[in-house]
Structure 1
Amino acid sequence: MYHLKLVGIGTGNHKHLTLKAIDALNSVDAILIPTKGAGKDDLAGLRHEICTQILTTQPKIADFALPIRDESTRDYGQKVNDWHDAIADIWLNTMQATLPQGGTVGFLVWGDPSLYDSTLRIADRLTKTTEVTVEVIPGITSIQTLTAGHAIPLNEINGPVTITTGRQIRDNGFPAGSDTAVVMLDGACSFQHLDPTGIHIYWTAYAGMENEIRRSGPLAEVQADIIDTRAAARAAHGWCMDIYLLRRTAE
Structure 2
Amino acid sequence: MAENNAAPRHILVIGMGAGDPDHLTLAAVKAMRRAEVFFVLGKGREKESLTRLRRDILDEHLTGPYRVVEAEDPWRDRTQDDGARYTSAVHDWRHRRADICERLIIEELAPGECGAFLVWGDPSLYDSTLAILEDIRDRGTVDFGHTVVPGISSVSALAARHRVTLNRVGRPIHITPGRRLAQGFPEDDGDIVVMLDGHETFTQLTGRGLWIHWGAYIGTPDEILVSGPLDEVAGRISRLRAEARERHGWIMDTYLLRQSTEETDRPAAGADGAPG
Matched, 1:212 2:223: yes
Q: Which has the greater radius of gyration? A: 2
TM-score between the two structures when normalised by the length of structure 2: 0.87
After superposition, the C-alpha distances for 1:34-83 in whole angstroms (9 at most, x for unaligned) are: 10112111111111111111112221111111000124547111111111
- From 48, 54, 60, the equivalent of 2:67 is 60
Q: Corresponding residue for 1:163? A: 175
In structure 2, what is the Cα distance between the partners aligned to 1:8 and 1:196? 38
Q: Residues 10 and 142 of structure 1 are in contact (CA less than 8 Å); yes or no, is this contact kept in structure 2?
A: yes
Letter in 2 for 1:112: D
How do 1:183-202 and structure 2 match up within 5 A?
Answer: 183-202=194-213
Q: Residues 229 and 260 of structure 2 are in contact (CA less than 8 Å); yes or no, is this contact kept in structure 1?
A: no
- From 216, 223, 229, the equivalent of 2:234 is 223
Identity %: 40
After superposition, the C-alpha distances for 1:153-173 in whole angstroms (9 at most, x for unaligned) are: 111111111000110111112
The Cα RMSD (Å) is: 1.5
Q: Residues 27 and 149 of structure 2 are in contact (CA less than 8 Å); yes or no, is this contact kept in structure 1?
A: yes
Q: Corresponding residue for 1:33? A: 40
In structure 2, what is the Cα distance between the partners aligned to 1:20 and 1:250? 38
Q: Count the aligned residue pairs.
A: 250
Local SS of the residue matching 1:26: helix
What residue ranges of structure 1 are gaps of 5+ in the alignment? none
What residue ranges of structure 2 are gaps of 5+ in the alignment? 1-7, 263-276
Structure 1 ranges of 4+ moved more than 4 A: none
How do 1:43-122 and structure 2 match up within 5 A?
Answer: 43-71=50-78, 73=80, 75-101=85-111, 103-122=113-132
Q: Residues 15 and 121 of structure 2 are in contact (CA less than 8 Å); yes or no, is this contact kept in structure 1?
A: yes
Letter in 1 for 2:161: G
Q: Corresponding residue for 2:153? A: 141
TM-score between the two structures when normalised by the length of structure 1: 0.95
Report the CA distance between 1:13 and its aligned residue. 1.5
In structure 2, what is the Cα distance between the partners aligned to 1:8 and 1:62? 18
Q: Corresponding residue for 1:181? A: 192
Report the CA distance between 1:250 and its aligned residue. 4.9
Matched, 1:9 2:9: no
Q: Residues 176 and 195 of structure 2 are in contact (CA less than 8 Å); yes or no, is this contact kept in structure 1?
A: yes
